[in-house]
Amino acid sequence: MARTAQKVESLIAEDAAMADALSVVYERTDEGSDEVEWSDVSDDITSGQWGRMIEKGILVDGDRGFELADSDAVGSALDGSSGDTISTSSTDIDEMEGTTWSKWDKLAAVASIGLFAGYSIKSVRNVVGGAVDVFLAPIEAALPFYVVIMILAMLTGLYSTLLQDNLMNMEKMGAYQQRMKDIQKRQKEAKERGDEQAMERIREEQMDAMGDQAGMFKEQFRPMVWTMFITIPVFLWMYWRISDVTQSVVPKDIVLPLVGGPIEWTHGAIGPMQAWIVWYFLCSMAFTQLIRKALNIQTTPT
């Protein structure tokens, strides 16, 4: 019922004349107990208004013509429309499909949780660090360690941005957020005019919108899982290389922007954060912003 009522309110918000057109259709169907054809209402409403009702799914196919999808919801919404005009989102949430995680997404999530153990369990860190070192050792042998961190920060920024762009539906995220804003706005308006009937419909819609909150979380977390799955081994390698390997990295220290130096890699640069962590995050944030601008990738909903 809440879905149909929202559609009716949306049409009325777009065009106040739709309230009269809907009332005509509602009366000609004998308050939803009968069907209606275009010829029955053509003298009182326009073809555009008729088409909008069908397009929104308020009118659906019947045996001989069209019938109201939910006559009770239409009647309640028309009663509520006698007050102030209610604003709703122009985005039809009904047509959006939920996000489904594949088995690979779930495996990546489990693997990422397992890799987190490397931060506290040295044996895990040694295994992961040694495996990644097979690929990164030649690069480190040819370049200073701070340049190696810059390259890793650029690569992690690139694939995290691409993952967000490909795995996260920004249009859907924006629609989720807009729907919640609209519900809050309509709830406030109904409360101000003391419309208990509208408040009840909005409360039903809020309950229904709880599924949207889960959908938003799944949309946000899916690319994060894959980013962690690739980034954690890289981060563990840097941790392993600086903290656990006996031979020192070259150079042994670094001069950090705004912090100064030289500071040894394992010394605190900003509070307890060690210098190598600060340097990695500075490079990662800078490269990520450049990559997003260069590729014109949006990672936040509009």
Q: Please report, rounded to a whole number, the percentage of residues in the chain having pLDDT higher than 70.
A: 81
In this prediction, residue 72 carries a pLDDT of 78
The structure tokens listed for 141 are: 């042998």
- Which of 76-80, 138-142, 209-213 shows the lowest per-residue confidence on average (mean pLDDT)? 209-213
Q: What is the DSSP letter of 244?
A: I
Identify the helix (H) or strand (E) that includes residue 290.
helix 275-295
Q: What is the pTM of this model?
A: 0.56
Identify the helix (H) or strand (E) that includes residue 191.
helix 170-193
- Given a cut of 50, is residue 164 above it in pLDDT? yes
Q: Is 296 left (phi over 0), alpha (psi -120 to 50) or beta?
A: left
In this prediction, residue 154 carries a pLDDT of 92
Look at the block and give the residue holding tokens 């009522």: 5
Asked whether the beta carbons of 172 and 218 are under 8 A apart, the reply is no
CA distance 250 to 248: 7
Residues 6+ apart with CB under 8 A from 201: 1, 2, 5, 76, 77, 80
What would the pLDDT profile of 266-292 be if each residue is shown by its tens digit?
A: 777 777 778 888 888 888 888 988 988
Asked whether the beta carbons of 88 and 15 are under 8 A apart, the reply is no
Q: Please report, rounded to a whole number, the percentage of residues in the chain having pLDDT higher than 90.
A: 3
Average pLDDT score over residue span 243-266: 72
CA angle 103, 154, 278 (to 5 degrees): 100
Average per-residue pLDDT for the chain: 77
Q: What is the DSSP letter of 117?
A: G
Asked whether the beta carbons of 12 and 81 are under 8 A apart, the reply is yes
Average pLDDT score over residue span 102-108: 81
CA distance 253 to 48: 72
Highest mean pLDDT among 52-56, 220-224, 280-284: 280-284
In this prediction, residue 125 carries a pLDDT of 83
Q: Is 302 helix (H, G, I), strand (E, B) or coil?
A: coil
Count the Cβ atoms, other than its own, within 10 Å of residue 226.
Answer: 20
- Given a cut of 50, is residue 92 above it in pLDDT? no
- Which of 44-58, 76-90, 145-159, 189-203 shows the lowest per-residue confidence on average (mean pLDDT)? 76-90
In this prediction, residue 152 carries a pLDDT of 92
Q: Phi, psi at residue 261, to the nearest 5°?
A: 155, -160
CA distance 255 to 150: 14
**Per-residue burial over 140-161, b = 16 or more CB atoms within 10 Å of its CB, e = otherwise:** beeeebbebbbebbbebbbebb
